[in-house]
Homo-oligomer: A and B are copies of this chain.
Amino acid sequence: MTIPATTATDFRSESVRSLYDQLILHLKGLSHLKGINGILRWDQEVMMPKKAAAARAAQLSTLAGLTHEKKTSPILGALLDELEYRITTEDLSPALNPYELANIRLARKDYQEETLLPTELVKNIAALNSKAVVAWVEARKESEFSKFAPFLEDQVKILRQKVAYKMKGGVCEDARLINQKARASLGLSDEDACYKGYYQVLLDSFEPGFKDDHLQALFSDLKEHLVPLIAKIREKNFQHDNSYIEGDFDIKRQTEFTHSISKLIGFDTDAGRLDISTHPFTGGAHPTDVRMTTRYIINKLKEGITATVHETGHSLYEQGRNREYVDTPVSRALSLGVHESQSLLWERMVMLNKPFWTYTLPLLKEQFAEHESLQSITVDQFYNAFNRVQSGFIRFESDELTYPMHIILRYEIEKALIEGDIEVADVPAHWSAKVKEYLGLEVTEDRLGCLQDIHWSSSAIGYFPTYTLGSIYAVQIYTHAKEKIPDLEEHLARGEFHVLKEWLNKNVHEQGSLRESGDDLVFDLTGKHLDSSLYVKYLTDKYTAIYGL
């Protein structure tokens, strides 16, 4: 038997620099394992032969076990304890720079998250997810919510347990305060069930540091302004012609076109790959090894372009991560919402805009020369066709104007579920009422309603808001970029996308997780907290013009 030679006591005599270096060595090992996991996941979706599924699951499980051991190793804990002790007793800023201090903060948070849940609970969550996903697939196929409901009940219960452990462990101190305040105002004791503030903790794991009350304020504002705008367009009952992009577009030529667009925007094909998968995603192992995927459908030209530009946005963030602090926590993406802001900025602010097509429409026409009806189309016509608004039931098929409504209704329902304001059985009714109110549609089937998304079956409550946070970040960041970069849109109209890419590299990508929240990043960059007004103005101006409201 060997016993690790170093204990916390031994660290007392070491310099902060030496402790930090030991921490980084450990964290780099963890980053390598995460990178390996990224390649295996990519391979699974893109390359793996189908009979290998069971073997791959076993390999991933062994890797996860080793990663967990390394994440919870006593040496790591002792190092972090000692560094924490130093932070409380001396000023570390002469010894460590802000990036290094952020690494300690992030490592502590990761360690805490990894160690504070009982192993039994972690296993139960994994087991429930496996069963619940299968049940969800089945329930959705039969469009029968009642078949999924018991699993959603269990998810709510188990997530509440998880939150309780996290609160007790000191994660999201503000959520604990919200809970205490609620108990006090309701006259409840510590033993009484009360789940107020619980959603904040779930949100925090996807969007670190973002406050639920801030989110609620943003979403209220969006509802107030966008619901009437969507209604106006619906009532206008008019659509721009898009017949010239509805035909069949050869897949090979779609592939060539989107690959060239992706490179033009700035994707470095020597530091990443673009392949095909059923569901487009961006993954990989390292800023020098980014793996993104897209998909093509012969009669849906717009989908292939949109998916590729979207994933390219994610990939630029990944490729642009801070190289000086590579393989350490501070170099990682700040949050899901900020990651989504980078994909949406390129997809919506850039690709769904006129300067982009001023440059690329001639290329598209050339690539699809046999599509005669396309050849005479102007940039304005194309822009109108690509930006058609149409309320629908399915979130991921939605346009940028109706999309936030899909998110807001999910947020309202999942928060009310977790915090005990509604019951699982009532979900379909709430869903229908909100779809009617926000989008003017009648939900006729659970399949098209509350059963459409996988998230709730796999414990991902608190995830949905990050999609719309991403759009709000994107507008605020892009608006600021336009102020800072002279003639930005003239550059884009000349295909000089590197101007924007490099600005984002410096102001977003290389910043990584230096700050504690996406809101802090936006505040330091633009001088304002995240604010829905720019987003509302962007959508209102754009669609008022497109639909002549």
Cβ of A2: which chain B residues have Cβ within 8 Å of it?
74
Pick the contact of A49: B7, B54, B289, B327 (CB < 8 A).
B289
Q: Which of A93-101, A268-276, A474-482 contacts B (4 or more CB under 8 A)?
A: A268-276
Distance, CA A40 to CA B2, complexed state (A): 31
Does A285 sit within 8 A of B, measured CB to CB?
A: yes
Q: Which of A29-37, A123-131, A141-149, A376-384 contacts B (4 or more CB under 8 A)?
A: A29-37
Residues of A that sit less than 8 Å from B by CB = 1-4, 7, 28-29, 32-33, 35-36, 39-40, 43, 47-52, 54-56, 58-59, 61-63, 65-66, 74, 268-273, 285-286, 288-289, 327
Q: Are B59's CB and A288's CB within 8 A?
A: no
Pick the contact of A48: B33, B52, B289 (CB < 8 A).
B289
Q: Are B50's CB and A62's CB within 8 A?
A: no
13 A-B residue contacts at CB 8 Å?
A32-B59, A33-B62, A35-B55, A36-B40, A39-B40, A47-B47, A51-B268, A51-B271, A51-B288, A52-B285, A56-B285, A59-B285, A59-B286
Given A28-B58, A51-B270, 10 more A-B residue pairs with CB atoms under 8 Å apart are: A1-B4, A33-B62, A33-B63, A36-B59, A39-B43, A49-B288, A49-B289, A52-B271, A52-B285, A56-B285
Question: In the assembly, how many copies of this chain are there?
Answer: 2
The distance from the CB of A314 to the nearest CB of chain B, in whole angstroms, is 16
Distance, CA A285 to CA B1, complexed state (A): 31
Q: Which residue of B lies closest to A53 (CB)?
A: B288
Q: Are B63's CB and A288's CB within 8 A?
A: no
Distance, CA A68 to CA B474, complexed state (A): 46
Distance, CA A193 to CA B437, complexed state (A): 91
Q: Are A52's CB and B288's CB within 8 A?
A: yes
Distance, CA A305 to CA B270, complexed state (A): 30
Distance, CA A43 to CA B284, complexed state (A): 12
Cβ of A61: which chain B residues have Cβ within 8 Å of it?
32
Cβ of A40: which chain B residues have Cβ within 8 Å of it?
36, 39
